Amino acid sequence: MQRRVLLSAALLPAMASAQTEAFPTRSPVLVIPFPPGGIVDTAGRMLAERAARHLGQSIIIENRPGAGSAIGNLAVAQARPDGYTILSGGIGLATIPNFRPDLEPRDPRTAFIPIAGTYTVPYILHINRNLPVRDLREFIAWSAQRGAAMNTATSGAGSGTHLIGELFRRRAGLPPGETIHFRGGVQAYTEIAAGRADAMWSTTLEAIQAMRANQTRPIAVTSARRLATLPELPTVVESGFPGFVVASFAGWFAPSGTPPGAVARLAEALRFAVNDPDLRARFDEYGMQAEFQTGPELGAVLAAETTLWGNLIREAGIRAE
């Protein structure tokens, strides 16, 4: 009997190795916590298609929108931790617990295992096309000369477009201005074009779309370097605000307890996907920056973002809609 127990124990590492090599034996499900058609959905599908080639299994996309990504986040947190249900996560993981600490998962840092980071999306400040300014410094000076601070639009109270504007105002030492909240970016861009709002911070793709529709004009981007698709657009740092580099992060996450072997296989597949030249070129067109990060690196980003936005939300008294 003792011999059998010892043999069984000796076989455990080999069995675990075999299971790791076999993963996945069926199609994993990637939960995207936003509706089809948006940039998060588009990017998620592009990554999944390429990661699937490396895994040798298709990846099923499941859109679970609602509550600013909270519904999809919770669905994955409560899923069986076997590597077959994963989350395309982002800034909502860092902000929602600060707005609604009563919602599950209360702490995404313990509810999920970071698999790998995939890309970042900086923000662009774009303004009414008819304003008599050429850059960020002139825009701030123009606002001061008319006796008013920035009159900015957002896509909703507590949204990323709201938070980035408040963060910039505080970092730049600007007085409080009027912030007008709309339900979505489309309405906000229309109001800026009509002159009822001066400016808005938006993710790169949304700002580029508004610019190409002749609704707004971009004057600065929060990335560390200029965008490949808008090489003439200066960064906020170049515009005179050292250290102001901010971007929404994105990555894949697995439920806590997922086997390390499954996490490693998924991370390998994501590295393959992120390094695909065609994907990187497509992301450049959207103003997104493909960037592979290891699981620990993504975990560190999530922790830092949770602290950054949590402090801002509390200090500014920001409430989500």
Summarised one tens digit per residue, pLDDT across range 23-41 is: 999 999 999 999 998 889 9
Please answer whether residues 85 and 224 qualify as being in contact, where contact means their C-beta atoms are separated by less than 8 angstroms.
no
pTM of the predicted protein model: 0.87
How far, in Å, CA of 321 to CA of 21, rounded? Answer: 46
Q: List, for residues 189-233, the tens digit of each pLDDT value.
A: 888 999 889 999 999 988 988 898 888 999 999 999 999 999 999
Q: β-pairing, 112-128 with 216-221?
A: antiparallel
Assess whether pLDDT exceeds 50 at residue 4: no
pLDDT the model gives residue 116: 99
**Mean pLDDT, range 30-56, rounded to an integer:** 95
pLDDT the model gives residue 66: 87
Assess whether pLDDT exceeds 80 at residue 297: yes
pLDDT the model gives residue 51: 98
Sign of the dihedral defined by the CA atoms of residues 62, 63, 67, 69, in that order: positive
Mean pLDDT of the chain: 90
Assess whether pLDDT exceeds 60 at residue 8: no
How far, in Å, CA of 196 to CA of 135, rounded? Answer: 20
Q: Which residues contact 202 (CB under 8 A, 6 or more apart)?
A: 123, 124, 126, 155, 161, 185, 210
pLDDT the model gives residue 14: 46
Confidence grade of residue 21 (pLDDT, cut at 50, 70, 90) = low
As assigned by CATH, the class of the 27-120+249-316 domain is: alpha beta
How far, in Å, CA of 61 to CA of 10, rounded? Answer: 39
Q: List, for residues 123-169, the tens digit of each pLDDT value.
A: 999 999 999 999 999 998 888 887 666 688 998 888 899 999 999 99
Identical fold for domains 27-120+249-316 and 122-221, yes or no, is yes
The share of the chain scoring above pLDDT 90, in percent, equals: 68
pLDDT the model gives residue 319: 86
317, two tokens: 């008294």
Please answer whether residues 216 and 128 qualify as being in contact, where contact means their C-beta atoms are separated by less than 8 angstroms.
yes
As assigned by CATH, the class of the 122-221 domain is: alpha beta
Ordered by start, the domain boundaries in the chain are 27-120+249-316, 122-221
